[in-house]
A and B are shown apart, each in its own frame.
Chain A
Amino acid sequence: MTQNNRCASGGRIDRSRTLRFTFNGKSYEGFEGDTLASALLANDVRVTARSFKYHRPRGIVGHGPEEPATLVELDGEDASGNRPATTVPLRDGLSARSVNCWPSPEFDIGGVNQLLSRFIPAGFYYKTFKWPNWHLFEPSIRKAAGLAAAPAQPPSSGHFEARHAHADVLVAGAGPAGLKAALKAGRAGKRVFLADEDSEAGGSLLNCDLSIDGQPAMGWVEAAVLELRGMANVTHLQNATVWAYREHNLLIVNERNPDQGSIIERSWRVRAGEVVIATGATERAMVFSNNDRPGVMLASSVQAYFNRWGVIPGKRVVLFTNNNSAYAVASDLIAAGVRVEAILDSRSCVPQAALELVPEITVQSSTVVGDVRGHKGVKAVKAVSSSGSVNWIECDLLAHSGGWNPTVHLWSQSRSTLRFDEDLAAFLPYQPVQNCTAVGAAAGQLTLDQIIDGGEELAYEIEPLWRVDLPGQRGKAFLDIQNDVSVSDVHLALREGYDNVEHVKRYTTGGMGIDQGKTGNINIIGTVAMQKGVPLQEVGTTTFRSPYTPVSFGAIGGLREDSVLFPYRHTPVTQWNKDNGAVMYEAGARWRRPGYFPQQGEGLQDAVNRECRAVREGVGVYDGSPLGTFELKGRDVPQFLDFIYSNMVSSLTPGNGRYGLMLSDDGLILDDGVVFRLDEHRWLVSTSTGHADSINQHMEKLLQTEFPDWQVMITTVTSQWNNATICGPRARDVMQALGTDVDLSPEVFPFMSFRDGTVAGFPARIVRVSFTGELSFEVNVAPRHMAELWAKVIEAGAPFGIQPVGSESSHVLRVEKGFLSLGHEVDGTVDAYDLGMGWAMSKKKTDYLGKRSIQLRREGKATRRELVGILPEDHNRQVPEGAPLTPGGRKEATEGLVTACVWSVVNDRWVGLALLKNGHSRHGEIAHVRLKDEVIPVKITKPVFHDPDGKLLRS
């Protein structure tokens, strides 16, 4: 079949370039310049969709983003869903399918839903998803609900990108008003950003046959575009939808297929001094029985298909209107040789100027459409006059116009206000809240002569008709075609008490979905107003939210995916780790760290046991570089540290360090770490890896906002130092093998002190801290020396059997010692006393962060969960981390949880830590881990399983 509805000439299409495409598996042809919708209409494809809820046959209704009925899924390289067919540019090889139907829209199994329609009323989901058990309904509803499926594969080629732009004036819309505004600003030398959603400029002028100063209006458009192109200060984009208006005049623009290159879509974030909203107007639907039949179309869309695409979607047309604009449509159709059977006008008096446009045509005033016949395409329209007389008019196309809505989405997104204008029967921009103005049709200037000097267009006159209301009316009258919301649904919502317009929307789903009710919302508002007997201003609109039209996730994400979204941090040892078979993990703050180093044939547990045994019996080394470190300098550092740590810090002497806790002022533990005094005025604070950034923020906030006169300078030195931490009984031997000028003997270089010197020839700071419980030397060097130092440590340690240690083993080693881990034992509910660290809460200091709150909490009588060790009665039984402890293992409220459980090589059994109600006084008792089908008895102990007196780490 070949384009039977296409005119021989006319339209903005290139008849020399034929494009082949398939729709629901059938092959068709169209032309360059077509949309999928115009090509389908050219081929006389009438049934293009099935409706969402009732699976009624539907056709194409509109010609742009307002299209409510025909949504398609695209296959192959265009893979995407829920695309209005009216906004899909045709290209050769396009493959599209209707949503909501199986096997085809012509013959659809789901159509049986129509018979059940009285069981799917408004509020269906609210009424269904409750007692006794909505899960009964869920599978079948989930299958039936929703529209297209998400594409299974992302596009195999091309990419999305983002750009930022600044403009003095952003103009949204390149119709006559937008072009005029852009020209004015451009000529004044302002930086102009002009964006329009359509494939070419012109707006409504593309769809009509209007003139300016006696010449075709599109000539004026072409001259304007040419002039703008010559201005270096103007950026003019087509295929670019301004879809969001955010705070402080930030607008987001989605540009499709820019440059015809490898970029699929480009997202612009434009910060504008001033915004001109020239987004035009959208024709609204009439509401009458069976107004969703295929072949019932918006009048302006019929006009657009003829003027822009050379397509006449019917041979015998009836028009139904409440305003003058449909008369211009009729005039165009008559000129094209189409039979206009009648114009039904709901107004009692049709203006003379309108009648003069259609001298030969029957115009029936005070007449409405009572019904439409034709299941898979309009066959006849029932005309009902106010006197009650009825006549059926045979036709194959019903074009209707319920008037025009200024497209106020962006205006309203900016939080600027609307008012209802009685003359235009529409909501118009009222008071701006940001620096924006609305112009042209978006501001209620609905005819060309109001916008452009010399423009000529029939005056717009309207008497609103929100819905046809006839006695004994049968057949559904749809307010929202996409969501199958009819007048009776809105009446039901009102009867059930949902009478706020926002509630009506949510209860009926009217105005939701892809089109967001662009053609029908106003009729819902009108229906509510009629039913309540109040003016539309009082009902108001639902909130306009971004996006104005659907935006792909790709455009929103741009290039920010995978590692680009949130880059990893690496230390200089990453390459060595990879070369040596490390299984890499993500540690806190996006650091990549080795999890463990499996050797040939080893599993995780074997590798971890080997690494742990090396540290406990010989020597191991790990890369401690990601630990957060800050150098604090200044006279007031001591009192500052005393304020942010719960224990006394200021008494430290140069060269020495101390472990401490940082609390927030409400008593939560923010972080733990060690602090060293480098010299009289310089201090080194270390934090856990994951909290480095937030502790920096915390310290800077206090200093800048609470104590601005304190002399403390903070420098982040996390990346200025890297370290290899050598740990285990043979650590001193490895240090000596490396060669150092520092005396390592415990008498002169004790635990919790540091020395500056050289190690293996590199300038180094050696720090004696221990996160494993063994003798440890943390060798800090400049990052440029780190990789070399690491290699030398491995080499020097080889005779002692040194093993690189990953984060899995670090976890085991710290659990054996009962050292804390934030996120495991410290979870925002425990305090230092619960953790057995009451010693860290200074009694000498009169004030520090968290002190008062902890006191307040401790005065309460509530029982606390306290840190304990657990030993499964079955030595070989591992307890899952996070498992609950319940009294006696019964199915009752929990009395604690397991925070960690590891295989201890020194104890040759599983050991764990737990937070348990009154745990400190329950050592020796049995507690019970409650799993789904099992109870595991565990013995409660002190939370330390290795070297309880700390002799080894001091050795």
Chain B
Amino acid sequence: MMLIPCPFCGKRNESEFIFGGAVGADRPDPNSVNDAEWVEYLTVAPNPLGPVQERWWHARGCSEWVTIWRDTRTHDIVEAPDDSE
């Protein structure tokens, strides 16, 4: 069970959180993308071997949606990679 850092509550057990998925691309303007781009946005989630940005909801805590970077190889909570936005 991981320890997830919440900006309000500090490091808390993973069991207090609900997983919210990997952070993908920003939602495009649905009226200005083609079908393929829209489907890509909806269905292709990042799944790297290494750091991935993801969201966790502190549901059994302060209700904050926490955004972290997690290394999928080690479960380490890591700093944002240099080339991330």
Q: A interface vs B, CB < 8 Å?
A: 246-248, 250, 269, 271, 415, 433-434, 665-666, 693, 697, 700-701, 704-706, 846-847, 851-853, 856
Contacts and interface: CB of A to CB of B under 8 A. Distances in A.
A704 B31 CA distance: 24
A853 B35 CA distance: 9
B1 A246 contact: yes
A701 B56 CA distance: 10
B70 to A, nearest CB: 10
Nearest to B58: A700
Given A247-B75, A248-B1, A665-B27, A852 B38 contact: yes
A433 B74 CA distance: 7
14 contacts: A248-B3, A269-B1, A415-B74, A433-B74, A665-B27, A697-B59, A700-B65, A701-B55, A704-B64, A705-B55, A847-B30, A852-B30, A856-B35, A856-B38
Nearest to B65: A704
B45 interface: no
Q: Which of the listed residues A248, A250, A697, A701 has the most CB atoms from chain B within 10 Å of its own CB?
A: A248
Given A248-B2, A271-B3, A847-B31, A853 B63 contact: no
B38 A700 contact: no
Nearest to A434: B74
Give the 8 A-B CB pairs with smallest separation, nearest first. Answer: A852-B30, A704-B65, A247-B75, A248-B3, A247-B2, A250-B1, A666-B42, A248-B2
Nearest to A848: B30
B49 to A, nearest CB: 14
Consensus secondary structure, chain B interface: mixed
Contacts of A701: 20, 55, 57, 65
B78 interface: no
Contact of B42 (A246, A271, A665): A665
A851 B59 contact: no
A250 B14 CA distance: 11
A331 B85 CA distance: 69
B80 interface: no
Contacts, number: 50
Interface string B24-64: 00010111000100110011000000000001010100011
Nearest to A433: B74
A706 B55 CA distance: 12
A236 to B, nearest CB: 24
A400 to B, nearest CB: 40
Contacts of B20: 697, 701
Given A247-B75, A665-B27, A666-B42, A697 B3 contact: no
Contacts of A853: 38, 42
A415 B71 CA distance: 13
Contacts of B31: 846-847, 852
Contacts of A434: 74
A693 to B, nearest CB: 8
Interface of B: 1-3, 14, 18, 20, 27, 29-31, 35, 38-39, 42-43, 55, 57, 59, 63-65, 67, 74-75
Contacts of A705: 55, 65, 67
Nearest to A271: B3
Given A248-B1, A248-B75, A700 B27 contact: no
A551 to B, nearest CB: 16
Nearest to B66: A704
B12 to A, nearest CB: 11
Given A665-B42, A701-B57, A247 B1 contact: yes
Nearest to B29: A847
Contacts of B42: 665-666, 853
A330 B38 CA distance: 76
Contacts of B64: 704
Contacts of A856: 35, 38-39
Contacts of B14: 247
A665 B43 CA distance: 11
A697 B59 CA distance: 8
Contacts of A666: 42-43
Contacts of B35: 856
Contacts of B74: 415, 433-434
B74 to A, nearest CB: 6
Nearest to A414: B74
Contacts of A693: 59
Contacts of A846: 31
Contacts of B2: 247-248
A851 B63 CA distance: 28
A542 to B, nearest CB: 20
Q: Which of the listed residues B43, B65, B75 has the most CB atoms from chain A within 10 Å of its own CB?
A: B65
A856 B75 CA distance: 38
A697 B1 contact: no
Given A665-B27, A700-B63, A701-B20, 4 more contacts: A666-B42, A693-B59, A700-B57, A701-B57
Contacts of B18: 697
A851 B38 CA distance: 12
A565 to B, nearest CB: 14
Contacts of B3: 248, 271
A232 B42 CA distance: 56
Given A271-B3, A666-B42, A697 B75 contact: no
Contacts of A433: 74
Q: Which of the listed residues A246, A433, A846, A852 has the most CB atoms from chain B within 10 Å of its own CB?
A: A852
Contacts of B27: 665, 706
Contacts of B30: 847, 851-852
A666 B64 CA distance: 25
A847 B33 CA distance: 13
Contacts of A851: 30
A847 B63 CA distance: 27
Nearest to A706: B27
